[in-house]
Amino acid sequence: MAQLLDEMIEQILIRSEVSDLIRYRSVSKSWKDVISDPDFIKAHLENSYRRDREYDKMGNRRIAMSATPQCNWEHLSHADNLYFVPRTRHLLGSSNGLVCVSRSRNEFSVINPETREVNKLKKPEILDQAGPLIYGFGYDSSNDDYKVVLRFRKGSNLTCFLKFSLESNI
């Protein structure tokens, strides 16, 4: 009977909004463990995608980002979360609700605007002498990890690539 109750609670949690899950983590240690489990997180994300496809829309969980806190938000009547990104940051990309920003050529952070968690990636010193950079950010489903990929020129005829993993921070 207890196992059935646990399964029912998990199914209810999977259908909950992220903002609610953040609050639910404080209900009990077992709820926090369930909500923090990588398999639960994947199931929650898949359920969100499925629900959004069923409603044939991008989703009702909109996040707005701005470089200035004084921005006029009146036209964003559907924004649930407003997240301030300082003007000194450059938006590199987003995937599954995570946002990758850069403050300089060798400082990268991945932000979860919903939870306000920030993961700073290792500083690649090699970029100090590199030419122009091209950035990419995305989810690697085969390794269940988020990656930042950089392309740059070193010297006049050498094109280099660097890959950073959010999971291992290398």
Tell whether 41 and 93 lie within a shared domain.
no
Q: Which two tokens stand for residue 67?
A: 């470089």
* Percent of the chain's residues with pLDDT above 70: 75
Is 13 part of any domain? yes
* Range ranked top by mean pLDDT from 39-43, 58-62, 150-154, 156-160: 39-43
Provide the residue range defining the domain that includes 140.
87-165
Looking at the fold, whether 49 and 91 belong to one and the same domain comes out as no
Range 9-31 average pLDDT: 89
Burial of 169 (0-12, 13-18, 19+ CB in 10 A): exposed
- Is the backbone of residue 58 left (phi > 0), alpha (psi -120 to 50) or beta? alpha
pTM more than 0.75:
no
List, for residues 102-130, the tens digit of each pLDDT value: 877 778 888 888 777 888 887 777 777 77
Instruction: Provide the mean pLDDT of the chain.
Output: 76
For residue 70, being part of any structural domain is answered with: no
Asked if residue 153 belongs to a domain, the reply is yes
147: in domain: yes
State the burial class of residue 106 (Cβ atoms within 10 Å of its Cβ: 0-12, 13-18, 19+): middle
Identify whether 68 is part of a domain: no
